[in-house]
A and B are shown apart, each in its own frame.
Chain A
Amino acid sequence: MKPLPLYRHKDTVFHGLHPAIAATVVFSLLALILLLRHPVYLCLAGAGVWSLVVLADVARETGPHLRLGLFMALLVVMVNPLVNHRGEHVLVYGPHVPLLGKLDITLESLVYGSVSAFRLLLVMMVFGLASTAISPDGLLDILARISSRSSLSAAIAIRLYPSMVVEAREMKEVQLVRGERLQGGAWQRMRAHLPFLAALFQGLLDRAACIAESMSARGFGSGKATRRRTPFRARDPFFGVFSLAGVAVVVLMSVLGKGDYDYFPTLSNPLRGLEAWAVAALCGEFACLAIIGWSWKRWPWLRSRM
Chain B
Amino acid sequence: MRGRETGDTWARRALRSLLVALVPVLVFLGVLGVAPFSNWSLNSVMLALLVLASLFLRFEKGDYGSREVAVVGALAAAGAAGRVLFAALPGVQPATFVAVLSGFVLGEESGFLVGSLIALLSNLFLGHGPWTPWQMLAWGMSGVSGGALSRLLRGKIRMAPIAVLTTFWGFLFGWILNLWYWLSFIYPSSLASYVATCAASFWFDLMHAAGNLVFVLVLGRSVAVMLQRYRDRCRYHYMEETWVEAAEQLAAVEGSGGKEEMAPAGTAFEVMEHNAGRGLGDCR
**Using a Cβ–Cβ cut-off of 8 Å, how many residues does chain B contribute to the interface with A?**
71
- With a CB–CB cut-off of 8 A, which chain A residues contact B66? 211-213, 215-216, 220-221
Known: A31-B42, A204-B77. A83 touches B36 (CB 8 A): no
Q: Hey, which chain B residues are within 8 Å of A220, CB to CB? A: 4, 65-66, 69
Give the residues from 206 to 261 in chain A that come closer than 8 angstroms, CB to CB, to chain B.
207-209, 211-213, 215-216, 220-223, 250-251, 254-255, 257
A152-B74 in contact given A157-B121, A161-B121 (Cβ < 8 Å): no
Q: Do most interface residues of chain B lie in helix, strand or loop, or is the interface mixed?
A: helix
Q: How far is the CA of A119 from the CA of B181 in the complex (A)?
A: 11
In the complex where A35-B36, A209-B233, A212-B66 touch, is A150 in contact with B56 (Cβ < 8 A)?
A: yes
Which residues of A in the span 162-212 have a Cβ within 8 Å of any Cβ on B? 164-165, 168, 190, 194, 197-198, 201-202, 204-205, 207-209, 211-212
- Contact yes or no, A209 B76, CB < 8 A: no
Contact between B5 and A222, CB atoms less than 8 A apart: yes
Contact segment of A9-17, A46-54, A122-130, A287-295: A122-130
Q: Report how far A157 CA is from B190 CA in the complex, Å.
A: 40
Given contacts A123-B130, A164-B78, contact A154 B233 (CB under 8 A): no
Q: State whether A205 touches B73 (Cβ < 8 A).
A: no
A47 to chain B, nearest CB (A): 20
Name the residue among A116, A124, A147, A190 with the largest chain B CB count within 10 angstroms. A147
Q: Is B192 an interface residue (CB 8 A)?
A: yes
Are the CB atoms of A201 and B78 closer together than 8 Å?
Answer: yes
Please measure, in the bound complex, the distance between the C-alpha atom of A198 and the C-alpha atom of B227, giving whole angstroms. Answer: 11
Residues of B within 8 A of A222 (CB): 3-5
For window 128-154 of A, CB contacts with B under 8 Å fall at 128, 130-131, 136, 146-150, 152-154
* Shortest Cβ distance from A256 into B: residue: B35
User: B120 contacts which chain A residues (CB < 8 A)?
Assistant: 154
Shortest Cβ distance from A154 into B: residue: B117
Assess whether B65 is in contact with A221, with CB atoms less than 8 Å apart.
yes
Give per-residue flags for B5-37: 1 if the beta carbon is below 8 A from chain A beta carbons, else 0: 101000010010000000000000000000110
List residues of chain A with CB within 8 A of the CB of B192: 83, 99-101
Given contacts A161-B80, A222-B4, 20 further A-B contacts (CB under 8 A): A1-B85, A6-B126, A31-B42, A78-B200, A79-B193, A116-B186, A131-B124, A146-B15, A149-B60, A150-B60, A156-B77, A157-B76, A157-B80, A158-B121, A158-B124, A160-B74, A205-B226, A215-B69, A215-B70, A223-B5
The 5 nearest A-B residue pairs measured at CB: A156-B73, A208-B74, A221-B4, A215-B66, A254-B36
Q: Which residues of A contact B (CB under 8 A)?
A: 1-2, 4-7, 30-31, 34-35, 64-65, 68, 72, 75-76, 78-80, 82-84, 86, 99-101, 109, 112, 116-117, 119-120, 123-124, 127-128, 130-131, 136, 146-150, 152-158, 160-161, 164-165, 168, 190, 194, 197-198, 201-202, 204-205, 207-209, 211-213, 215-216, 220-223, 250-251, 254-255, 257, 263
Q: Please, could you name 22 A-B residue pairs with CB atoms under 8 Å apart, sorted by A?
A: A31-B42, A34-B184, A35-B36, A76-B185, A79-B196, A86-B188, A100-B192, A109-B187, A120-B185, A127-B127, A128-B127, A146-B56, A147-B56, A153-B72, A156-B73, A156-B74, A157-B74, A208-B67, A208-B73, A220-B69, A221-B5, A254-B35
Binding site for A on B (CB under 8 A): 1, 3-5, 7, 12, 15, 35-36, 39, 41-42, 45, 53, 56-57, 59-60, 64-67, 69-74, 76-78, 80-81, 84-85, 113, 117, 120-121, 123-130, 132, 181, 184-188, 190, 192-193, 195-197, 200, 218-219, 222-223, 226-227, 229-230, 233-234
